[in-house]
Structure 1
Amino acid sequence: MTQTPSPPPSKSHGRKSISASATPRSLTEDTRLARAWTAQIITLLPQAFPGVLAESLTGKALRDGLWQLDTVDLRQFGEGRHRNVDDTPAGGGAGMVLRADVMGRAIDHALGRSPGPLVYLSPRGRRFDQQMARDWASLPGIKMICGRFEGLDQRVLDHYRIAEVSLGDFVMTGGEIAAQAMLDATVRLLPGVLGNADSTTDESHSDGLLEHPQYTRPAEWQGLTIPEVLMSGHHGEIAKWRQAQAQELTRTRRPDLWTARRTKD
């Protein structure tokens, strides 16, 4: 008599509740937070997570249950004794392609675990930006597929109507680093993560502009001084100076952003 295999393991990072404990909770324990914003990652490298996301404010928010991270190990859905996940490209060519049947099983397993749209991290996708981070932060969560090798069988993208998203105009060995970068940009926008809500409104790309220059103590360093207006205490003049600096930086360094902003206005 054969036994039906149990669902392949996934790993959830976060905590169920905020409570005192003599033993610190692990970021890798298998828990589900009912209302926390959830990032679900389908990857061949589940051990790469949470990675840098376990540090600083995103790590604190993860431990405090403001969001959770759920990794799905693609290898567990592989074919045969060796859990193969890829095969040679149809029509020939270099490299290997992630199989449709393997990825399909992983996606079906993931779909019932948490809410949120499914995206595939791909250099041919729409470029990730601050607005997309805001959009994701407003959702219950996001599901990410980290590509490897030469990519993913196109039929998977077509069948599940998966949106493709790119970190930038370059190629990486896999989507794991891109996923962490996008999640960092998104998680910091979640309520309570930064603490100061103004932090997300007065920074680069918040209103289509690059951020103005920043200064702090000492007042003089290497013969260079802080601009006088910033030391004046006149908040209206400081705001005008910062806005002018942001506009000039954007115009000279990112004419694409400057043109898009002026067209929008």
Structure 2
Amino acid sequence: MRFSIITLFRELIEPFFETSLLKRAIEKKLISVEIINLRDFGVGKHRKVDDYPYGLSSGMILMCEPLKKALDSIEGENKYVVLTSPSGVLLKQDLVETNLSKKEHIVIIAGRYKGIDQRFIDKYVDLEISIGDFILQGGEIPALIIVETVSRFVKGVLHSIDSAENDSFSKGFLDSPKYTRPKVFEGMEVPEILLSGNHKKIEEYEEYQSLKITYKRRPDLLKNKDLTKRQKEIINKIKSEEKNGKT
């Protein structure tokens, strides 16, 4: 899997890939990350990359020409161009798993200032992505989030691909609570069922806890969800417990 990131602030990007799993993934050549400095393709002696917008908008807009030159400098075919933007589709696990993780080469343009010229978006951008309903200084952090979440589906990056496939959201729900040693911490014990060795009972328990935490914290994930008969029974039980004052 190949990633290319076009940014005005490469110093915000580089340290992220100098540690942990992504560093090892790069060293093992499981993924590659190329950082392109947009300023290198600026116009004129001052390498200008932005200008005032037409119309009544305020702020500065990234210009088409530097962006096009930066994009053209990236070698290879099958480039899938992503723009980080508050106007983009919301980044969700399903988008990562069914779309982004299937691409060979993702080019991420880290948006800045008030945005970029719409003409460039219309002609060269395949997908605009937002990471949430809030505003950041720029698109560098969203770009890093995209690289990390997509890389998790590259074989060999994680110790087991099951780790990615069983993450929260991968099955459409939040994950169940997790525990590790010691069995008792400050008087709080690990749920007995998790120590039983009964895989079927553990699976049922974790499914129940997953649905419970999803129902309480992210009920929106359950809307229009095609639940199984068992899942519907669990949700009804959770609602009944809630009605009776149980947690």
2:78 equivalent to 1:115: yes
Match of 2:113 in 1: 149
One-letter amino acid matched to 1:124: S
1:171 aligns with 2:135: yes
Corresponding residue number in structure 1 for 2:235: none
Which 10-residue stretch deviates more, 46-55 or 217-226? 46-55
Letter of the 1:76 partner, please give it.
D
Q: Which residues in structure 2 correspond to 1:212-251 (within 5 Å)?
A: 212-251=176-215
Percent sequence identity over matched residues?
Answer: 35
Q: Residue 106 of structure 1: CA displacement?
A: 1.7
Partner of 1:133: 96
The amino acid of 2:83's aligned partner reads Y
Match of 2:172 in 1: 208
Report the AA paired with residue 54 of structure 2: A
Counterpart selection for 1:198 from 162, 181, 185: 162
Who is 1:47 aligned against? 11
Of stretches 150-159 and 47-56 in structure 1, the one that deviates more from structure 2 is 47-56
Q: Could you tell me which amino acid in structure 2 is paired with residue 173 of structure 1?
A: Q
The alignment covers a number of residue pairs equal to 228
> How far did 1:161 drift?
4.6
Q: Which amino acid in 2 is paired with 1:159?
A: K
Tell me the amino acid that sits aligned with residue 126 of structure 1: V
TM-score after normalising by structure 1: 0.81
Q: CA deviation at 1:248?
A: 1.0
Counterpart contact for 1:117–1:141, Cα < 8 Å: yes
**How big is the shift at 1:263?**
6.9
Please say if residues 41 and 71 of structure 1, whose CA atoms lie closer than 8 Å, have aligned partners that are also in contact: yes
Relative distance call for 1:43 and 1:262 in structure 2 (3 A) is same
Partner of 1:3: none
Distance 2:125 2:108 in 1: 13
Is this contact kept in 2: 1:100–1:152, CA < 8 A?
A: yes
The equivalent position to 1:252 in structure 2, one of 209, 216, 223, is 216
Normalised TM-score (structure 2): 0.87
CA contact (8 A) 1:53 1:180 kept: no
CA distance in 2, matches of 1:109, 1:264: 50
CA distance in structure 2 between the aligned counterparts of 1:151 and 1:159, rounded to whole angstroms:
16
Please, which moves more after superposition, 184-193 or 157-166? 157-166
Give the conservation status (yes or no) of the 8 Å contact 2:82–2:127. Answer: yes
More helix by share: 2
Aligned Cα RMSD in Å?
A: 1.7
Q: 1:61, 1:193 within 8 Å by CA — same for their partners in 2?
A: yes
Aligned equivalent of 2:55, options 76, 82, 91: 91
Structure 2 gaps, min length 5: 230-247
**Counterpart of 2:66 in 1: which secondary structure?**
helix
Specify which of 34, 38, 63 is matched with residue 27 of structure 2.
63
Note the C-alpha offset of 1:227: 0.6
Q: Which SS does the other structure have where 2:213 is aligned?
A: helix
The change in CA–CA distance for 1:195 and 1:128 in structure 2 (over 3 A counts) is same
- Partners in 2 of 1:236 and 1:93 — Cα distance? 59
> Following the alignment from structure 1 to structure 2, what is the Cα–Cα distance between the partners of residues 263 and 83?
55
- Secondary structure of residue in 1 paired with 2:33: strand
Q: CA deviation at 1:235?
A: 1.0
The one-letter amino acid of 2:203's match is A
Provide Cα deviations, 1:211-246, integer angstroms capped at 9, x if missing partner. 000011111112211111011111110010001110
